[in-house]
Structure 1
Amino acid sequence: MLNSFVPADRSLCVLHPTKFLTPRYNMTMEVTQVLLNAQSIDGTVRKHAEESLRQFQEQNLPGFLLSLSGELAGDEKPVDSRKLAGLILKNALDAKEENRKRELVQRWLSLDPAAKSQVKACLLQTLTSPVLDARSTASQVVAKIAGIELPQKQWPELIGSLLSNINQVPVHVRQATLETLGYLCEEVSPQVVDQDQVNKILTAVVQGMNASDGNNDIRLAASRALYNALGFAQANFSNDMERDYIMRVICETTLSPEVKIRQAAFECLVSIASMYYEKLNNYIQDIFSITAKAVREDEEPVALQAIEFWSTICDEETDILEECGVEFSGDSEIPCFYFIKQALPALIPLLLETLLKQEEDQDLDEGAWNIAMAGGTCLGLVARTVGDDIVQLVMPFIEENITKSDWRQRESATYAFGSILDGPSPEKLAPLVNVALPFMLSALLKDPNNHVKDTTAWTLGRMFEFLHSSIIGTPIFNEGNCQQIITVLIQSMEDAPNVAEKACGALYFLAQGYEDVGSASPLTPFFQEIVQSLLTATHREDAAESRLRTAAYETLNEVVRCSTDETAALVLQLVPIIMMELHNSLASDEREKQSELLGLLCGCLQVIIQKLGSSESTKCGFMQYTDSIMELFLRVFACRNATAHEEAMLAIGALAYSTGPGFIKYMPEFYKYLEMGLQNFEEYQVCAVTVGVVGDICRAVEDKILPYCDGIMTQLLKDLSSDNLHRSVKPPYSHALVI
């Protein structure tokens, strides 16, 4: 019954570590113990074990992989050693970094076929293990190997072996097989698997979801496998009967008693909305009923996926409308069914209900997610999809709740208003925004609840981002009103970090809206006060919370970038201040804080350099600082921090543009860092920026670059021919060669 999983010679999978030792490799401890030691709380023991494993891998890779696969397959082995063996195996086959991934693939393909066969036999045997962690790890490793070998026409029997056993094995093996098929579909391109095998895979996983024995482990594994297999199902979704069957099983699975199974089923619906939007017309009403029930009544993980379905439909319809225009002919290649527009009367009340489900202690830092946030995000996507039609459906909710005593009602009304500001026309929104603006400013200062103030500041930022000109062009936005806005935002920078961060964001978009106003800006009278308040915010003891420090510097940059010649002298006064901040940061022992600050300060100096270098009135005064600025940038390069290196390189590019031919005096000291940047394959963003700086310097110093050309050209040509360089960097390299 398990003939496809268990090798004929079981001794292949019952490996004794010493069998694979070479004369050069002197590890005397059993692999099991080494793996356990590698997880020891004793740092010395752990480090020694890690070094032993590294040496074993370097000196005898086939033996290393065989020992690990044998460890994973050994049911008598400790669970902890088996899990680590599987993890190391997986990491020996795959990596996130593209060049490393290619290297590992080639290393596996070049192994002796007999050794590879033994490893694969052990992995397939592990799928029969009674230990869940071992089976699950083996499933992932089998899929990684399949992702390497199937495109090479190797291991052709794998899928057939898995499928032939799926209905004839114990429950735990069937579960592991379905899990393996799911991971395999995630790793392998659909073009690699023939349609007959695709049909069998889909049949197996759909039958697993609809398992007559009701085993939840099988149904969950099958549901998750279907999620990964949907990309293989183009032909099946083009067949009405097959599509109907798949959709029926998924919809039935959304009613499972088990939360994880329901969640997996809704995840399948979300994926179908993205992949097969054009096939949903016959099912959309039933799906709305299912999702509405889940949003209102189900556990949060399920409800979030139900909301995500409608967010995905919004994304699809927005893309179609943007790509093809609003009107569609009957034979349009990509039809828009206007599901969102048709569902508006029922969908909007459903989403507004979710906004009232905030958590009292919800985390307002970036990355927090709950039903209220998901509902507001979806509401914003609906606004982008249908435009003006959403306003009349949302405004009654806002008007009813915005002044209620319950903070949840006030916050939800504010969130709803902010969410619909991107999509409807300015003509539709401007009257509403101008009425709301004074109310929002008052709420930002006076509302007693932190959540309400946080959302209010965010909404003000959305007003300035999307409707700046509409607000500015109305009588309500006069000079006094401008002062009121700035006063409120500055005062809010002293509030809790999450509120202060949102206030910075609002000021960012307010300043951005004045970028093209010419020589006079309403912000000019307040420039110094704004700058001082932002600098004060960066020095708060809690500035690391809620990204406040980052937001303050980014806003300072935007305020400087959008400033006019009237404030150029004030911008010049910022130079020694930021230089001192950078100097202090370089001397700091707080490594985590330093890592963040170096990049922010270099970025700030870059904006200041660009601003002052382009203004004749301040260029002369700025030049007195260039030597000291360059010295600070060179000190930044001595710190091992990729983000800081990137920002420092960009700032040096701006400095080269501002100083012109005079920049050549910095080249003797700077050249080594320029060369290091061009050689930095691992942090390819730094490499790409360095290429751009080469161009900036060449344009600045012209023929004075000649003494450095041989080294630069040698490195550029070397990089162009290298397989280790990220592909996104090579087009800029070609541009640099032309310069």
Structure 2
Amino acid sequence: MSELVSFLQRTISGSQSDQQAALSFLQQAAQTNFPEFVKQLSIVLSSTDVEPFVRQQSGLQLKNLLYAKDAETLQQNQKRWIDTPEDIRNTTKQNVLRTLGTETVRPSIAAQCINAIAGIELPFQQWVEVIEILMSNVTNDSSSEKLKDSSLEALGYICQDVNTSAVESKSNQILTAIVHGMRQQESSALVRLSATEAMLNALELTKNNFANTDERNVIMRVVCEATQAPDTRIRVAALQCLVRIVSLYYNHMDMYMKEALFAITVDAMKSTDNNVCLQGIEFWSNVCEEELVLACQEIEAREEGRTPNVVSRYYAKGALQHILPLLLNTLARQEEDDDEDEWVPAKASGVCIMLLAQCTQDEIVPLILPFIQQHFENPDWHFREAAIMAFGSILDGPSQEILNQLVGGAIMPLIRTLADPHMVVRDTSAWAIGRVCDSCESLVTREEVLRDLVPALFKALEQEPRVAFNACWALSSLVKAAYQISKDQGTDETGEPETYVLSPVFEEMVKRLIITTDRPDAGENNLRISGYEALMELIKNSPKDCYLHIQRTTVDVLQRLQRVLGIEDGAISTSDRSQLRDLQSLLCATLQSVLRKIKKEDAGQISDSVMSALLHIMQRCSSGHDAGGVMEDALMAVSTLIEVMGVNFAKYMEQFKPFLFHALRSHEEHQICQAAIGVISDLCHAFEDKIAPLMDDMVALLLQILQDANVKHAVKPHALGCFGDIAIALGPNYNRYLNYTVEYLMNAVNAAQITNPDDLEQVEYVESLRDNCISGFTGIVQAMRSSQEGLQQLIPVVPQMVKLIAMVAESGSLSSDDLQGTTCGLIGDLIDVLGKDIFPLLDTPAINALLQRCRRSKIQKAKALGVWASRELSHLKRQANAV
């Protein structure tokens, strides 16, 4: 132990060699004899004779041996702990528990160690007594303040980090401790604060308690009382609890809203303390978000002929006239030097007003209009900016008729504010104009408005970076509005309008945006990124009469890319190289936009230059240069060139193939690997069966991706979906790969299970897995249907396809409309290929419900596929009944 203490002391030594020696000793000790090492660490942690910082270091080492943010390391740590002899584990746990209340610093490292151990053991229903021990520490009158405080910290950590299902059975004991610590009678502000923070972490555990009126009343009482505590920290934490409660348990809030919550939160919004004020505002933002979700659910329920589970109480509408004046006054509390990343009441008020506008729609306009009119030209810039912010914040909610009236009277004065003497006002003005362009397309594209608006935005591009940033966004919104208006007026078979109102200034727009990206200060406020994004939108939303300018822009972008590549050769500092690579990424992305507009017959004139630049980039990336996301962007640009050139891209394959294969082998660089898989799909679409000579290598590389256990989850679904594109390209010749690829698709189907619907990451992964498996199977069905031999090979796979279809059907609303639609497509294909033989497998309640959902979908593609598959299934049913 003395040797361990010595090395722990050296971990914070001023000598780097001492620190290295200490770190080496600790790592070696963990590897050599893990059980003894964790026990000794826990002894040091619990020893009050040892210096406080040494105890802290021992606790930190112990926690890091048990917990890790990286999933793979965490799994290894957990296994190592479980494999540790039980007597060692028990001794370690006793020492850690004994440490509670003896530490001289906060937060408690012992509490963090308890959480790490509980996170491993509680899911296996081991060490369940720890909850009762911690509860007793809090509720025992003889416990010291420090013991109560650190025990509540431990409970809070456990509620926050340990899987809910593992501690749900202990929720009553946890709540008993927390409520005891939160009581008004608790004399220690520190204990009360820890209890309130623990309550915030425990709220998701209290589902059953909130369903019980008496228990809910107790929880709400102590939380509401805590919002009135003299200690501001406790008030803030209690208000955070209310913010969370209204999201989790909205349907139980009716009696509390009238009796307490309205008054508490309004009082908080009036506070001069930013932290208190923020929570009052956040409460009403959360109310609005819940009511917007409920409104959508109500519409869905009505369309499906059922009653929604929870209905809106329209708290936002009821509170509007009372909270809106407070929010408007708070808008004017902004400061010129507010950190853009800092969340302050003025910003929170703007968001809350946006949400209120969406909830209350036309009702907000007469209540907010006097403030806007009164302060639009106020001598105090705070109120001028607040009036513009209020105006921009309500544009998503009111009816189009009301909006047109509102914006029609304000647009010209608003344009003039782009020349306001105060930078913050100009910044907000550019943002508000972007919002106007998004919401009132027909109004901003009038000639008399554009006459003033376009020059004013050009001028704004020359102003401070944050103003120019929003001016870029406003121009993006304006070009999209102009393009949409022209499309609505009619297009030919290409889907592009001949001209639009911005055609006369299109060339000047391109020029101004390129100048903006070249500004010396374009690195500030993401201005360069915003400038290129606006340029991409301008290109994307360009009519036919601007094609000549698109061609010139393509040449300009290429020249810039080649120039940047030349500059990088001479770049010395890491910072310079990093900036140049960021610029290369932006230019590659811009190149994608212009290539999508280039006609096929013109692509050949620039394709050599394009591929030369892209191959140059890929050569550097493949040579070991740390190129960040440049390789991914270069591959995506290649994909676009393949789309434009089609099979004519074949002349570059010999040069490009090594880089594509290198990218497919870059399993650790998941975004590069994923982009390379996308290139294979694009090559299949472009080359069709001419891709066959390359397929052996490509399929082998895809299978390597699927076999590698270390490949990031996000990549594998795309590799599975790629089999469908390969199958469609090869047709019957796909049979040589059928057995290999179907095996992986079948394994994926078995793995595509949602075990925890609350785990959004898992739900998203399973959705992607199912979607790509459906795409893979669909391609295979279409490829193999054209020959009798292919059909015979297909039949054994059909049960797995139906199993996947049933999974999607049974998951109901957990599956997206897009996935449900593509699933209907596979159903239709199977019926089309196999006829009456498939009918018994597909005629199930779940699959019929899936088809019905898709027939009612608002997504046109899903609806069309649902209607088609339903019709095919009905036809089979009639045939079966006739027999």
Q: Same fold by TM-score, threshold 0.5 exceeded? A: yes
Gaps of 5+ in 1: 1-15, 18-29
Preserved CA contact (<8 Å) 1:585 1:594:
no
Aligned position for 2:636: 650
Between the aligned partners of 2:542 and 2:164, the Cα distance in structure 1 is 53
The one-letter amino acid paired with 2:509 is I
Between the aligned partners of 1:623 and 1:482, the Cα distance in structure 2 is 37
Aligned position for 2:395: 421
Aligned position for 1:598: 581
Aligned position for 1:391: 365
The answer to whether 1:618 aligns with 2:602 is yes
Aligned position for 1:148: 120
Q: Note the C-alpha offset of 1:706.
A: 4.5
Per-residue displacement from partner, 1:126-182 (whole Å, max 9, x unpaired)?
A: 22323224x622212211221221112222222122223322321101111111111
Q: Secondary structure at the match of 1:305?
A: helix
The answer to whether 1:731 aligns with 2:717 is yes
Per-residue displacement from partner, 1:385-427 (whole Å, max 9, x unpaired)?
A: 1211111111110001111100111011011001111111222
The answer to whether 1:348 aligns with 2:290 is no
Between the aligned partners of 1:125 and 1:306, the Cα distance in structure 2 is 40
Preserved CA contact (<8 Å) 1:468 1:513:
yes
Per-residue displacement from partner, 1:483-507 (whole Å, max 9, x unpaired)?
A: 4322211211111111111111111
Aligned position for 2:450: 482
Aligned position for 1:544: 523
The answer to whether 1:161 aligns with 2:133 is yes
Q: 1:106 to 1:374 in 2, by over 3 A?
A: same
Between the aligned partners of 2:563 and 2:533, the Cα distance in structure 1 is 15
Aligned with residue 353 of structure 2, among 379, 398, 401: 379
Q: 1:323 to 1:170 in 2, by over 3 A?
A: same
Preserved CA contact (<8 Å) 2:301 2:308:
no
The one-letter amino acid paired with 1:618 is D
Preserved CA contact (<8 Å) 1:598 1:636:
no
Aligned position for 2:625: 639
Q: 1:330 to 1:579 in 2, by over 3 A?
A: closer
Q: 1:144 to 1:581 in 2, by over 3 A?
A: farther
- 1:572-721 map, 5 Å: 572-584=554-566, 586-587=568-569, 588-592=571-575, 594-595=577-578, 597-612=580-595, 614-616=598-600, 618-635=602-619, 637=621, 638-664=624-650, 666-667=652-653, 670-703=656-689, 705-706=691-692, 708-721=694-707
Aligned position for 1:514: 482
Q: 1:606 to 1:130 in 2, by over 3 A?
A: closer
Aligned position for 1:570: 552
Q: 1:120 to 1:641 in 2, by over 3 A?
A: farther
Q: Note the C-alpha offset of 1:221.
A: 0.5
Between the aligned partners of 2:532 and 2:625, the Cα distance in structure 1 is 21
Aligned with residue 265 of structure 2, among 286, 291, 314: 291
The one-letter amino acid paired with 2:129 is E
Aligned position for 2:240: 267
Aligned position for 1:306: 280
Q: 1:218 to 1:584 in 2, by over 3 A?
A: farther
Q: 1:467 to 1:33 in 2, by over 3 A?
A: farther
Between the aligned partners of 2:252 and 2:438, the Cα distance in structure 1 is 37
Preserved CA contact (<8 Å) 2:434 2:474:
yes
Aligned position for 2:164: 190
Between the aligned partners of 1:397 and 1:483, the Cα distance in structure 2 is 28
Between the aligned partners of 1:465 and 1:88, the Cα distance in structure 2 is 53
Between the aligned partners of 1:439 and 1:599, the Cα distance in structure 2 is 38
Q: 1:94 to 1:685 in 2, by over 3 A?
A: farther
Between the aligned partners of 1:388 and 1:131, the Cα distance in structure 2 is 57
Between the aligned partners of 1:319 and 1:382, the Cα distance in structure 2 is 13
Between the aligned partners of 1:551 and 1:257, the Cα distance in structure 2 is 46
Aligned position for 1:132: 105
Q: 1:201 to 1:568 in 2, by over 3 A?
A: same
Between the aligned partners of 2:137 and 2:197, the Cα distance in structure 1 is 19
Percentage identity across paired residues of the two chains = 34
Greater mean deviation of Cα atoms: 94-103 or 136-145: 94-103
Aligned position for 1:170: 144
Q: Note the C-alpha offset of 1:665.
A: 5.1
Greater mean deviation of Cα atoms: 706-715 or 167-176: 706-715
Aligned position for 2:872: none
Q: Note the C-alpha offset of 1:102.
A: 3.4
Per-residue displacement from partner, 1:654-680 (whole Å, max 9, x unpaired)?
A: 233234334445555544544454454
Preserved CA contact (<8 Å) 1:636 1:648:
no
Between the aligned partners of 2:287 and 2:156, the Cα distance in structure 1 is 25
Aligned with residue 535 of structure 1, among 514, 529, 536: 514
Aligned position for 2:309: 333
Aligned position for 2:75: 102
Per-residue displacement from partner, 1:98-117 (whole Å, max 9, x unpaired)?
A: 44443443343333434433
The number of residues matched between the two structures is 702
Preserved CA contact (<8 Å) 2:430 2:467:
yes
Q: 1:154 to 1:714 in 2, by over 3 A?
A: farther
Aligned position for 1:320: 294
Q: Secondary structure at the match of 2:139?
A: coil
Which structure is higher in RCO with an 8 Å CA cutoff and minimum separation 6?
A: 1
- 1:156-235 map, 5 Å: 156-168=128-140, 169-195=143-169, 197-210=170-183, 212-235=185-208
RMSD between aligned residues: 2.7
Q: Note the C-alpha offset of 1:358.
A: 1.2
Q: Note the C-alpha offset of 1:539.
A: 2.5
Q: 1:71 to 1:584 in 2, by over 3 A?
A: farther
- 1:377-456 map, 5 Å: 377-445=351-419, 447-456=420-429
Preserved CA contact (<8 Å) 2:359 2:397:
yes
Q: How does the TM-score come out when normalised to structure 2?
A: 0.75
Q: 1:669 to 1:623 in 2, by over 3 A?
A: closer
Per-residue displacement from partner, 1:627-673 (whole Å, max 9, x unpaired)?
A: 32222331452432443333222222223323433444555554454
Greater mean deviation of Cα atoms: 343-352 or 655-664: 655-664
Q: 1:315 to 1:72 in 2, by over 3 A?
A: same
Preserved CA contact (<8 Å) 2:111 2:150:
yes
Preserved CA contact (<8 Å) 1:386 1:423:
yes
Greater mean deviation of Cα atoms: 388-397 or 48-57: 48-57
Gaps of 5+ in 2: 487-496, 727-883
Q: Note the C-alpha offset of 1:278.
A: 0.5
Between the aligned partners of 1:32 and 1:706, the Cα distance in structure 2 is 66
Q: Note the C-alpha offset of 1:597.
A: 4.7
Q: Secondary structure at the match of 1:350?
A: helix
Q: 1:194 to 1:428 in 2, by over 3 A?
A: closer
Q: 1:177 to 1:443 in 2, by over 3 A?
A: same
Per-residue displacement from partner, 1:412-445 (whole Å, max 9, x unpaired)?
A: 1011001111111222111221222221221112
Preserved CA contact (<8 Å) 1:687 1:729:
yes
Preserved CA contact (<8 Å) 1:603 1:651:
no
Between the aligned partners of 1:593 and 1:579, the Cα distance in structure 2 is 16
Preserved CA contact (<8 Å) 1:38 1:49:
yes
Between the aligned partners of 1:336 and 1:615, the Cα distance in structure 2 is 52
Q: Note the C-alpha offset of 1:345.
A: 1.1
